[in-house]
Amino acid sequence: MTPPPVAPAPAPAERARLATARRRFGLAPEGEEFPLAGDVGSRRYFRWTARGRASVLVVLYPEPASTAQENWTAIGAALARTGLRVPALLDDAPDLGAALVEDLGDRDLAVEIEEASPPDRPRLLDEAEELLHAVRTLDPVAARRNPPFDPGFFFRELSQTRLWAFEKGGATPMAEADRAEWDRLTSALSHAAADPAFTGDPVPTHRDFHANNLMRVPGGRLALIDFQDLRSGPPDYDPVSLRFERAGESVPSDPAAYAEAVLLQRAWKVLGTFEKMLALGRPVYRRHRDTALRVLRTNTAPGGPWAPLLDFLSPDSGGVS
């Protein structure tokens, strides 16, 4: 099994914020806190434990009264009303940029996929994808808290991919002609991925519906986490995140069952995200980056409209140009 990433110790300013949050939430001073390695976002998670008490998570947001904290609370409540399992919000202090959240443990769907025998893995992905039926019944008010996916949104994401995967955060800018070609191709891809005529009418979309954001909780259900960015988007967006990203990619799925533009937009988007994380010194994302490269090379139709994007990749399998 892949070892979990190591979380950095809290900085002095975080320690002070944690102490304030502990007092606000009434956590016993004899308890202990352990930093947890989060994912791409900037929130910080600390598991608080004390003898005779169930562990809980103290969440620190980057700043007080953030939209992300408001959205997590509102969207989580709306998802729970559909019958989905989400972490319970035990206490909330937006003025501190802190929240107290149910601890769902460490067993996510990625662990289960890695531990399962190959014949059992498709069943796990099917179980996860079933959750999307309930997600799509979400109260429209909650789904509108974030702007919907549209061509401009998708294009801005792929501009970040150019910045981090090919320009090393701006240190090595593309030649003007190459940049113009990248922008032309990714603009066309973004428009195709957001066009309901090709991808279907928009539905409530988790946005990061991958195996690391699905937790197995006591009682056997899968719970959703990291849902604060939920918005309206193409029906295939969450399924391709699940099946063609991270641990889910190890389970054979038929790319022809999904809109190619949606699959490729997501894969190029996460390639940029993973390259950024690597540049920021988080090597745990290397295997996710390599998966994204494999997905792009394997699932781009030869001779299709998006095939020229592959010319930007290094001819070997080890990275980008």
pLDDT in tens, 149-180: 999 999 999 999 999 999 999 999 999 999 99
* 39-53, 97-111, 279-293: least confident range: 39-53
- What percentage of the chain carries pLDDT values higher than 90? 90
What is the distance between the alpha carbons of residues 183 and 157, in angstroms, rounded to a whole number? 11
Which residue do the tokens 């559909």 mark? 82
Residue 4 pLDDT exceeds 90: no
Residue 215 pLDDT exceeds 60: yes
Q: What are phi and psi of 136, to 5 degrees?
A: -75, -5
Torsion of CA 303, 306, 310, 312, to 10 degrees: 130
User: CA of 72: how far to CAs of 106, 142, 247, in Å?
Assistant: 20, 10, 25
Which pair of tokens denotes residue 140? 């429209």
pLDDT-derived band at 11, boundaries 50, 70, 90: confident
| pLDDT for 320 | 64
The answer to whether the beta carbons of residues 261 and 193 sit under 8 Å apart is: yes
The domain defined by 12-102 carries CATH number 3.30.200: yes
Strands 214-216 and 203-205, how do they pair?
Answer: unpaired
User: CA of 225: how far to CAs of 45, 77, 84, in Å?
Assistant: 13, 12, 11
pLDDT-derived band at 1, boundaries 50, 70, 90: very low
What is the distance between the alpha carbons of residues 155 and 269, in angstroms, rounded to a whole number? 9
pLDDT-derived band at 317, boundaries 50, 70, 90: very low
The answer to whether the beta carbons of residues 124 and 112 sit under 8 Å apart is: yes
Any idea where the domains of the chain sit in the sequence?
A: 12-102, 109-312
The pLDDT of 119-135, averaged and rounded, is: 98
Per residue in 22-53, pLDDT tens?
A: 999 999 888 999 999 876 778 999 999 998 89
Return all residues near 52 (Cβ < 8 A) that are at least 6 apart: none
The pLDDT of 89-94, averaged and rounded, is: 98
pLDDT-derived band at 3, boundaries 50, 70, 90: very low
| pLDDT for 37 | 82
Regarding the domain delimited by 109-312, which CATH topology (the fold level of the hierarchy) does it fall under? Aminoglycoside 3'-phosphotransferase; Chain: A, domain 2 (3.90.1200)
